[in-house]
Structure 1
Amino acid sequence: MIKGLYEAHLPVRNLEISIEFYRELGLRIGWRDEDTAFFWIEEGKSWLGLWEGKESQTPYHPSLRHIAFRVTYEDLKDSLQWLESIQVEPVPFGERTSIEPFVRPNQGNASVYFDDPDGNSLELMCYIEVPNELEHITEKMSFKDWENIVNSELK
Structure 2
Amino acid sequence: MIKGLYEAHLPVKNLDISIEFYQKLGLKLALRYEKIAFFWIEEGKSWLGLWEGKEYRTPYHPSLRHIAFRVSYEDLKNSLKWLESLQIEAVPHGGRTTNKPFIRPNQGNASVYFNDLDGNSLELMCYVEVPDDLKHLTETLSFEDWETLIAKHSK
Give the alignment's TM-score, normalised by structure 2.
0.62
SS of structure 2 residue aligned to 1:99: coil
Q: Which residue of 1 aligns with 2:126?
A: 126
C-alpha separation in 1, matches of 2:120 and 2:60: 12
In structure 1, how many angstroms separate the alpha carbons of the residues matched to 2:148 and 2:8?
31
Asked whether the 8 Å contact 1:76–1:126 carries over to 2, the reply is yes
Partner of residue 139, structure 1: 139
Q: CA deviation at 1:59?
A: 7.7
8 Å CA contact 2:60–2:120 kept in 1: the answer is no
**What secondary structure, in the 3-state scheme, does the structure 1 residue paired with 2:106 have?**
helix
Larger radius of gyration: 2
2:102 equivalent to 1:99: no
State the Cα deviation string for residues 50-89 of structure 1 (Å, max 9, x = none): xxxxxxxx98632110010000000000000000000100
The aligned counterpart of 1:110 is 110
Any gaps of 5 or more consecutive residues in structure 1?
Answer: 10-45, 47-57
Q: Distance in 2 between matches of 1:103 and 1:60?
A: 24
Residue 89 (structure 2) aligns with? 89
How is 1:17-96 mapped onto 2 (pairs within 5 angstroms)? Answer: 61-96=61-96
Equivalents in 1 of 2:72, 2:66: separation in Å?
A: 19
Distance 1:100 1:130 in 2: 20
Structure 2: runs of 5+ lacking an equivalent: 10-45, 47-57
Aligned to 2:149: 149
Task: Return closer, same or farther for 1:8/1:140 CA change in 2, 3 Å cut-off.
Answer: farther
2: CA distance, partners of 1:69 / 1:145: 24
- SS of the aligned residue for 1:62 comes to coil
- What is the rounded CA distance, in whole Å, between the counterparts of 1:127 and 1:136 in structure 2? 16
Residues 90 and 99 in structure 2, CA contact (< 8 A), matched pair in contact too: yes
Distance, in Å, in 2 between the alignment partners of 1:62 and 1:129 is 25
Query: Does the 8 Å CA contact 1:8/1:68 hold for their aligned counterparts?
Result: no
Separation (CA, whole Å) in 2 of partners of 1:111 and 1:61 = 18
Over residues 25-49 of structure 1, what are the superposed CA-to-partner deviations in whole Å (9 max), with x where a residue is unaligned? xxxxxxxxxxxxxxxxxxxxx9xxx
What is aligned with 1:16?
Answer: none
Task: Report the AA paired with residue 151 of structure 2.
Answer: N
- 153 and 114 in structure 1: CA distance in 2 versus 1, 3 angstrom threshold: same
How many residues were matched structurally?
104
